[in-house]
């Protein structure tokens, strides 16, 4: 037994290190999962006279997509968002994060506009309440306004089909 | 370059680094500078994870420093600010994670391991001490044979 002890210790260590290698440290789990989404009130990006609040979207599940024109991965994600919008199963609300309004409007003209509402978070203060630390990030929020899932990084077609759609079916 | 110039340049270099953070805000009665600087050195910047909030230049770090300064100016305690950050970003934002069921292994695992290994070591030492130091007759015989092999045992 004693002869094998070092081997056992090595194997346990290897198991933990192996598990550690499979984790992506840049993905920090959000404490907001299964918690009510933070309240907010922000101007609408496209229509200065309108405001977007948490209450605006209560009643149906929706995706809250944090994006900005300075974010390269948002460009990668954009066609998938267009596809989700055209699919029509879930509305997408944009949270435009620390961006420049004219540039953001130009982006929507150039690449298409998948958003039902867009909250314009120029200072980034509301995004801090959502625990945003990069873009893109996307929250799946249910009809009662609770956060159910968070995607860090761009949504891919696979992620939409294999993760978000099944979750949406359960809401 | 003589020693004095070198020293002056060195001092200037370091003073700039200190200013890089402190000149963002005004410190006085409302917010204590030492408290602020030591606090932001214990918070992780989530954008560049191996840097503290205090040393990071990322946009988010600047925003969070503003927020922390604002909360301190409002008179909030370090624990309240910890709660503010953890409720949004999770425990990972603190360099020193809180003691709770999911972090028990992290906090006490090494001590448990140390205790187990020390116990094993003590047992082994005890076992070695209990072994008789004198050899029995048959053992003496065996030892003699090993030390003085007889000719006929070899080819």
Domain assignment of residue B63, yes or no: yes
For residue range B2-38, what is the model confidence (pLDDT) as tens digits? Answer: 778 877 777 766 654 554 555 678 787 777 889 999 9
Contact (Cβ atoms closer than 8 angstroms) between residue A65 and residue A138? yes
Residues B2 and B76 in one domain: yes
CA distance A99 to chain B (A): 12
Q: Which of B46, B59, B90 sits opposite A31 (nearest CB)?
A: B90
Q: Please name every residue paired with A43 in a beta bridge, in sequence order, or none if there are none.
A: A51
Q: What is the CATH number of the domain that holds B24?
A: 1.10.8.640
Q: Which residue has the higher pLDDT, B135 or B55?
A: B55
Same domain assignment for residues B114 and B94: no
- Nearest residue, CB atoms, A129 vs list B47, B88, B93: B88
Q: Has residue B127 been placed in a domain?
A: yes
Domain boundary among the residues B63, B78, B98 is at: B98
User: What is the extent of the structural domain holding B89?
Assistant: 1-98
* Averaged pLDDT, B74-83: 94
- Are A32 and B46 in contact (CB < 8 Å)? no
Residues in chain B: 155
Tell me the average pLDDT of chain A. 94
Mean pLDDT calculated for residue range B77-103: 92
Query: Which pLDDT does position A92 carry in this prediction?
Result: 97
- Same structural domain for residues B14 and B89? yes
Residues of B in contact with A97 (CB under 8 A): none
CA distances to A32, B30, B92, B93, B98 from B85, in Å? 12, 21, 10, 7, 13
Q: What are phi and psi of A146, to 5 degrees?
A: -95, 140
Is residue B112 located within the same domain as residue B130? yes
Q: How many residues would you count in chain A?
A: 171
* pLDDT computed for residue B50 by the predictor: 85
In this structure, are B79 and B148 located in the same domain? no
Average pLDDT over residues A124-136: 95
ipTM, two decimals: 0.86
Q: How many Å lie between the alpha carbon of B72 and the closest alpha carbon of chain A?
A: 17
Q: Which residue, among B89, B98, B124, would best test binding to A if mutated, counting the most A CBs under 10 Å from its CB? A: B89
Q: Go through B8-40 and write b for each residue having 16 or more CB atoms within 10 A of its CB, e for each that does not.
A: eeeeeeeeeeeeebeeebeeeeebeeeebeebb
Q: How confident is the model over A120-129, as a mean pLDDT?
A: 96
Q: Per-residue pLDDT for B113 more than 60?
A: yes
The two three-digit tokens of residue A18, written as one number:
């192996």
| CB neighbours of residue A121 within 10 Å | 26
Same domain for B74 and B125, yes or no, is: no
**Angle at alpha carbon of residue A5, lines to A3 and A7, rounded to 5°:** 95
Contact call for residues A31 and A131 (beta carbons, < 8 A): yes
| Residue ranges of domains in chain A, CATH in brackets | 28-170 (3.40.30.10)
Model confidence band, residue A81 (pLDDT cutoffs 50, 70, 90)? very high
B116 and B85 in a single domain? The answer is no
Secondary structure class of B23 (helix, strand, coil): coil
In A, which residues are within 8 Å of B60 by CB distance? 124, 133-134
Domain boundary among B98, B117, B141: B98
Residue of A nearest to B49 (CA): A26
Looking at B77, B98, B119, the residue that finishes a domain is B98
pLDDT digits (tens, 9 = 90+) for B92-101: 999 998 898 8
Which chain A residues have a beta carbon less than 8 Å from that of B90? 28-31, 131
Average pLDDT over residues B85-104: 91
Compute the average pLDDT of residues B32-45. Answer: 93
pLDDT value for B103: 86
Q: Which residues pair with A96 in a beta bridge?
A: A67, A120
**Most A-contacting residue of B60, B71, B100 (CB-CB within 10 A), to test interface:** B60
pLDDT of residue B129: 85
- Asked if residue B147 and residue B77 are part of one domain, the reply reads no
Q: Which residue of A has its CA nearest to B62?
A: A124
pLDDT at B5: 80
**Mean pLDDT within B32-58:** 92
Q: What is the CA radius of gyration of chain B?
A: 32
For residues B80 and B6, membership in a common domain is answered with yes
Note whether A131 contacts B86, CB cutoff 8 Å. no
Mean pLDDT value of segment A87-96: 96
Any domain includes B115:
yes
Preferred mutation among B53, B88, B124 to probe A, highest tally of A CBs within 10 A = B88
CA dihedral of A103, A106, A107, A113, whole degrees rounded to 10 = 130
B115 and B85 fall within a common domain: no
User: Which residues in A have their CB inside 8 Å of a CB on B?
Assistant: 25-26, 28-32, 98, 123-125, 128-131, 133-134
Identify whether residues B50 and B122 lie together within a single domain: no
Confidence of residue A152 (pLDDT cuts 50, 70, 90): very high
Instruction: Say yes or no: B8 and B78 in one domain.
Output: yes
Query: What would the mean pLDDT of B41-45 be, rounded to a whole number?
Result: 94
Task: Examine the pLDDT at B154 and tell me if it is beyond 90.
Answer: no
Nearest residue, CB atoms, A128 vs list B49, B63, B92? B63
CB–CB of B87 and A31 under 8 A?
yes
Structural domains of chain B, count: 2
Residue B144 lies in a domain: yes
pLDDT of residue B36: 93
**Model confidence, pTM:** 0.78
Residue A28 has its nearest CB partner, among B60, B67, B90, at B90
Asked whether residue B103 is domain-assigned, the answer is no
Counting residues of chain A whose pLDDT is more than 70, the rounded percentage is: 99
């Amino acid at each position: 037994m004693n002869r094998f002890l070092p081997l056992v210790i090595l194997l346990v260590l290897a198991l933990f290190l192996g598990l550690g290698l499979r984790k992506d440290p840049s993905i920090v789990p959000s404490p907001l999962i299964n918690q009510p989404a933070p309240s907010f009130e922000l101007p609408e990006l496209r229509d200065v006279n309108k405001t977007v609040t948490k209450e605006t979207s209560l009643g149906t599940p929706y995706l809250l997509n944090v994006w900005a024109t300075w974010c390269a991965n948002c460009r990668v994600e954009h066609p998938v968002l267009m596809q989700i919008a055209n699919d029509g199963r879930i509305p997408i609300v944009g949270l435009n994060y620390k961006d420049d309004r004219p540039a953001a409007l130009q982006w929507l003209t150039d690449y298409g506009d998948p958003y039902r509402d867009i909250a314009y978070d120029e200072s980034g203060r509301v995004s801090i309440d959502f625990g945003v630390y990069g873009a893109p990030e996307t929250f799946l929020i249910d009809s009662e306004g609770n956060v159910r899932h968070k995607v860090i990084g761009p949504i891919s077609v696979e992620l939409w089909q294999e993760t978000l759609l099944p979750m949406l079916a359960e809401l | 370059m003589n020693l004095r110039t070198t020293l002056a340049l060195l001092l200037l270099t370091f003073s700039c680094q200190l200013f890089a953070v402190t000149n963002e805000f005004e410190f006085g009665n409302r917010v204590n500078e030492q408290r602020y600087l030591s606090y932001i050195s214990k918070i992780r910047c989530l954008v560049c994870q191996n840097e503290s909030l205090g040393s990071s230049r990322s946009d988010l770090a600047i925003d969070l420093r503003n927020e922390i300064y604002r909360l301190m100016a409002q008179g909030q305690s370090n624990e309240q600010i910890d709660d503010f950050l953890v409720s949004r970003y999770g425990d990972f934002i603190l360099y020193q994670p809180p003691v709770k069921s999911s972090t028990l292994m992290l906090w006490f695992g090494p001590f448990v391991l140390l205790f187990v290994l020390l116990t094993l070591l003590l047992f082994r030492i005890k076992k070695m001490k209990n072994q008789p130091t004198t050899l029995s007759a048959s053992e003496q015989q065996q030892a003699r044979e090993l030390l003085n092999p007889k000719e006929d045992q070899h080819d």
